Amino acid sequence: MRLRTVKLAALLPAAYLMVTACSKPQPNEHQQTVTASNQTALPAQLTPPADDRPVVVAFGDSLSAGFGAPAGQSYPDFLQQEIDAAGYRYRVVNQGISGDTTSGGVSRIGEATMLKPEIVLLELGGNDGLRGLPLETTRQNLAGMIDQSQAAGAKVLLAGMTLPRNYGPDYIRGFERIYQELAREKRTALIPFLLEGVATRPELMQRDAIHPTAEGNRIVAATVFKHLRPLFKKTP
């Protein structure tokens, strides 16, 4: 907490009046006193109207958080621009946390559903795969988050992921199947691969070859919007 510092200059007038009152008459005794009734009332601050647009929660890890990209250039930021440009009244809330796993997502999905979102864009699991976590654990966690989102009345758009080729074909295939199978079982919309058209283009990826650049995030947003749009209400 930041402490307020009392400036010495603010104390000098009071001290000066005390000394002069004891030593000599007040020099401006006929000076008009400003009273509270003479002060000009300040206009009341206007309260901004509440944002009543339906909520789309971008619930994910560093890919949603926009790791390594300039502020305001994550894919959820660009997604909001896509939505606005198309004339839809939706508000994107970014709940991406860098480094998060599906276990972390399970612990905080309640924060997302408290927003009463119309759509939950679920983008998690990549860090599970990169850490080589058991596939069944990842699957169970994703399923639980889908169930909780749907129970809160939200539609779910599941963002599919894959892994670097050095993780081995069996593990990679099993990892990719998690998203495909859950989308069928839970009847959610699916983005087959979130980084489609970006991950294979080095100029659109940062040096870690995991996170998109700002321009890469713009393309990701276009991919997401293509799959998100059918979930919107038919207006406009």
- Assess whether 23 carries a catalytic annotation: no
- Describe the crossing of helices 75-85 and 214-228 by its angle, rounded to 10 degrees: 50
Q: Identify the active-site residue in 23, 149, 208, 227.
A: 208
Q: Identify the active-site residue in 61, 62, 74, 77.
A: 62
Residue type, 135: L
Q: Identify the active-site residue in 52, 100, 211, 227.
A: 211
- Assess whether 149 carries a catalytic annotation: no
Structural element, H or E, at residue 124: none
How far is residue 149's CA from residue 188's CA, in Å, rounded to a whole number?
Answer: 11
DSSP 98: T
The answer to whether 71 touches 214, Cβ cutoff 8 Å, is no
- Assess whether 62 carries a catalytic annotation: yes
How far is residue 114's CA from residue 59's CA, in Å, rounded to a whole number?
Answer: 13
How far is residue 72's CA from residue 198's CA, in Å, rounded to a whole number?
Answer: 19
Query: Residue 124: which residues within 8 A CB-CB, separation 6 or more?
Result: 59, 60, 61, 100, 101, 102, 105, 141, 142, 145
Question: Catalytic positions, please?
Answer: 62, 208, 211
